[in-house]
Amino acid sequence: MPVTLEELFTRYREPGDTAALAEIFDRTAAPLLRLAVHLVGDIALAEDLLQSTFVAAIENAATFDAERSLEPWLAGILTNRARELR
C-alpha cells in the first residue's frame, strides 16, 4: 500500500524527513500548478505561487491537522496566496 501524503507530511514534520517533503512536492506540484495557473493566468506567477505555497506549508507545518487531507490544505494555502496577489 502506498504511503499517503498525510503520512509523508507527518514524517517531514516530526523527524524532519526532507525526502518525505520532496516526495510530497513531486506528487502534488503538477495539480497545484494547474490550479495556480487557473487562478492567476500566468505561468511564471503561478510557479512563484507554488513555491510560496510550499514555503508557507513548511513554516506552518505544526498547524496541519493530520486527520485531514494534505492536498486540500495545500490548495487552500495556494488559493489564499493567489487572493493576496489580487
pLDDT in tens, 43-75: 999 999 999 999 999 999 999 998 899 999 999
d(CA 83, CA 55): 17
Residue 83 clears pLDDT 80, i.e. is over it: yes
Percentage above 70 pLDDT, the chain: 99
The chain-wide mean pLDDT, for the chain, equals 95
- The candidate with the shortest Cα–Cα distance to 53, out of 11, 40, 66, is 40
Amino acid letter at 26?
D
Q: Provide the whole-model pTM.
A: 0.91
DSSP class of 17: -
d(CA 15, CA 2): 20
